[in-house]
Chains A and B, each alone.
Chain A
C-alpha cells in the first residue's frame, strides 16, 4: 500500500538555472552498492561522509566536519534536486544517508529510499495502518526517521512495530510489535542502532501508558531488555509514586537517546508523568522528566538527573542529551548539554552526574531556580482543581523536540526556541485505555516578555551566556545542524531553510520559499567531492494542534511534504 502522491521526482528551474539533471554525476548509481553499516562505522559516524543516525553521531552534536559549503560561498547554494511527497501531515524526519542511499520517513509511516545524488526513488514502503485508530497519537501522525545497521534499515511505527527492511530492496526482513496500538502507546522516534541492537522508546505520556526503553536484537528482532520509566514498588524509585499509579504514570521515551562510549552509557530522556495534574500523584514520580543513564548491555539504570520534580506542566525531559566537553570557570568537564521543555539549559557532569550550571533560555517560572544542584519549583504556580495558574513556558516548552546542535569549534549550542506561556487548571479526569489522561485544561498564550512566537538562539556552553538571538514572529519549530564551514542551518515555519554565520547569527543564505513550513532537522552529507544539505519541508506536528493562541499564527502555512537537497553550483 503506497499513498505517496508523486510518481516522479520533480525538478525545478530555480533562478532560471537548470540544475539537477545537468549536475548529477552519471557515474555509479545508488543501486551499485550499499556499504554495510558496521559498529565501527557507527562509532565514527561524526566523520563519515554520510549521515548515519538521527543526530549524526552517538554524542548527538549534529555537527559535520564538512567545509566545502562555508561562510564565504554559502550564498551560492542552489537546489540539486527535490521530490514532492504530498501528504498534508507533519514531516519531522531527518534524512539518513549511507553512501548513495538516502532514506526519509513520512507521516503515517512510509519510508522512501532515494539515490542521494540524483533524487531517483529506489524503493518505497508503507506500514499498513488500516486497522489502527491512531487514537493515542497526540501530536500529529509523524515519524522522525530511520536507523541503519548492517544491510538493514529500521523504523518504529505508530502501531508500535519495529520494522527491519533490507536497505537495498526495501523488503521486510523482520517486524515485531512491542505493544498493541490505540491503548496508550505509539512510536514516532528514529531508532538507535548500537552494538548490534536496535533501541527504541515509546510515546504515551498523555494516555496513561507505562513507557519504556527497549533493545532488540538487530538481526532477529528478539527482545533483549526493556526498562520501564516508572518503577514498581520494591524497585529503586518505586516509593516515589502513590499506590499503583506507576502503572499509568507515563514517562514516555519518545526521542532518540545518545551514547557515551567513554563510560559505556546510554543516555535517554524521559517524558512527563501522567496524569498531568500533579496533585493526583504526590511524590517525585521518578524517573519522569529526567535523563536516565542505562547500561546498554542490560538496560539497568546507572543514574539519573531529574529536570523537573513532580511535574504538573507537561515538561517532558526527552530532548536530546548532547555529549560534549566544556570548560566552566576554568575547569574542564565531559558534560551533557540539554535544553529542556521547562525553559532551562542544563550542563550536567557526565562523571559525577551533578549539575554544572543551569541557565534560562526562555521565560521560565514554573521551575524557579536551583539549590544544591537540584531544581525547585514555584508551588504557587502548580494548578489544582480550584486554582488556575499562569506560568511559563507553556506545556509546549521553551523548546519542544526540535533538536539543538553543538558546535565544538564555536563552543556554542544552537537552540530552537518558542516564546509562550499558559494558563492551566486542574480538571476531573479518569483513566480509560485509549483516551487521554490529563486532568488539566490549558491555553497557550503569548509570553508577556516577548511577543515573537519563536527564535533561534546561540549559547556559549563554556559560560552559559547567550551569544546571539535570531528572533522570529512565527514559532521556531525546526531542528538545528552546524558544520565546519562555520554555518548553522535551520528552517522556518514560512518555508525557508536558512544558513547562519555560526559565530554571529547573521543570515548568510535563505532558500527560496519551499512548498511548506519546516519542522524537521536539516542534515548534510558528501558523495564524491560534493557536499549536500538536505531538508524535509512539510508543516504539521504538535504546534498547530495544541498551540492555543499560536495556532492562528500558523494556520495559513501551506501543507504538503517535499524533500529538498541543496549543493553548490
Chain B
C-alpha cells in the first residue's frame, strides 16, 4: 500500500484506505482458510527472553534449534501438525506444569510465558504489541500449527 497519497484528496484517501482494508481483510481471510490466520499473541521481547530461557533449560533435551533430541522436536510439521491438533492452551499448560523434565514446574510463571512466546515464534506465529499473559495463554484455543 502506497503512502504517497499526500497530494490526493481526503476523499480519495478514505476510499483508498477502505479498499486497502477490504483487500487486506480478503487476503487475511484467504490465508486464514489456508492456515488459520495467526493472531499476534506475544511481544518480540518475550520471544527473545524465551530464547535465552530455552537455551538454559530446554535445549539440552530438545536441541538448540528445537530439532529434537531425547525430547521431541518443538518446531516444524512433526511437532505442530494438523493431525496432532494442539492448541496454545494445551501446550502452555503442559509445559508450564511438566517441563523441564528433570525439574517440572521449577521455572517462574514469567519464564514459562516467554518460552511459550518463543515456541510460537519458532512455529511461524507473528509477534505483536500484546504481551502474552497467563490468562491469555491458558485460555487460548488458537490452534498451534506450524506455518
B118 on the interface (CB 8 Å rule)? no
> Given A443-B103, A545-B61, A548-B103, A137–B94 Cβ distance below 8 Å?
no
Contact A427 B97 (CB under 8 A): yes
Digit string of B62-83 for contact with A (CB within 8 Å is 1, else 0)?
A: 0000001111110000110100
Most A CB within 10 A of own CB, among B81, B84, B102 = B102
B128 on the interface (CB 8 Å rule)? no
Contact A131 B84 (CB under 8 A): no
Chain B min CB distance to A430 (Å)? 7
- Report the separation of the CA atoms of residues A47 and B45 in the bound assembly, to the nearest whole angstrom: 66
B101 on the interface (CB 8 Å rule)? yes
Stretch in A78-86, A432-440, A493-501 with 4+ CB within 8 Å of B: A432-440
- Report the separation of the CA atoms of residues A89 and B70 in the bound assembly, to the nearest whole angstrom: 7
A547 on the interface (CB 8 Å rule)? yes
Q: A89, A133, A438, A547: which contacts B78 (Cβ < 8 A)?
A: A133
Interface residues in A429-453 by Cβ distance below 8 A to B read 429-430, 432, 434-436, 438, 441-444
- Report the separation of the CA atoms of residues A421 and B85 in the bound assembly, to the nearest whole angstrom: 36
Contact A546 B101 (CB under 8 A): yes
Interface residues in A486-534 by Cβ distance below 8 A to B read none
> Given A133-B73, A141-B70, A428–B102 Cβ distance below 8 Å?
no
Residues of the A chain whose Cβ atoms lie less than 8 Å from the Cβ of B73 = 133-134
Q: B70, B86, B101: which contacts A434 (Cβ < 8 A)?
A: B86
- Report the separation of the CA atoms of residues A430 and B69 in the bound assembly, to the nearest whole angstrom: 25
- Report the separation of the CA atoms of residues A544 and B78 in the bound assembly, to the nearest whole angstrom: 24
- Report the separation of the CA atoms of residues A131 and B68 in the bound assembly, to the nearest whole angstrom: 13
Most B CB within 10 A of own CB, among A132, A141, A434 = A434
B111 on the interface (CB 8 Å rule)? no
Chain B: residues with Cβ within 8 Å of the partner, total of 25
Contact B97 A131 (CB under 8 A): no
B90 on the interface (CB 8 Å rule)? yes
- Report the separation of the CA atoms of residues A444 and B106 in the bound assembly, to the nearest whole angstrom: 13
Residues of the B chain whose Cβ atoms lie less than 8 Å from the Cβ of A540 = 70
A135 on the interface (CB 8 Å rule)? yes
A551 on the interface (CB 8 Å rule)? yes
Residues of the B chain whose Cβ atoms lie less than 8 Å from the Cβ of A444 = 102
A140 on the interface (CB 8 Å rule)? yes
B55 on the interface (CB 8 Å rule)? no
Interface of A is mostly: loop
Contact B101 A182 (CB under 8 A): no
Contact A436 B79 (CB under 8 A): no
- Report the separation of the CA atoms of residues A560 and B97 in the bound assembly, to the nearest whole angstrom: 32
Q: B85, B91, B102: which contacts A545 (Cβ < 8 A)?
A: B102
Contact A545 B84 (CB under 8 A): no
Chain A minimum-CB-distance residue to B83: A182
Contact A436 B72 (CB under 8 A): no
> Given A131-B78, A140-B70, A441–B97 Cβ distance below 8 Å?
yes
Contact A133 B102 (CB under 8 A): no
Q: B72, B90, B104: which contacts A442 (Cβ < 8 A)?
A: B104
Residues of the A chain whose Cβ atoms lie less than 8 Å from the Cβ of B98 = 427, 436, 438, 441
- Report the separation of the CA atoms of residues A457 and B81 in the bound assembly, to the nearest whole angstrom: 47
> Given A134-B72, A137-B72, A182-B84, A430–B93 Cβ distance below 8 Å?
yes
Contact A441 B105 (CB under 8 A): yes
Chain A minimum-CB-distance residue to B104: A441
Chain A min CB distance to B95 (Å)? 9
A–B Cβ pairs within 8 angstroms, 14 of them: A89-B70, A132-B78, A133-B84, A135-B79, A182-B84, A428-B97, A430-B90, A435-B91, A438-B98, A441-B105, A443-B104, A540-B70, A544-B70, A545-B70
Which 6 residue pairs of A and B lie closest in terms of their CB atoms, listed nearest first? A133-B78, A441-B105, A441-B104, A427-B97, A135-B72, A551-B102
Interface residues of A (CB under 8 A from B): 89, 131-135, 137, 140-141, 182, 427-430, 432, 434-436, 438, 441-444, 540, 544-548, 551
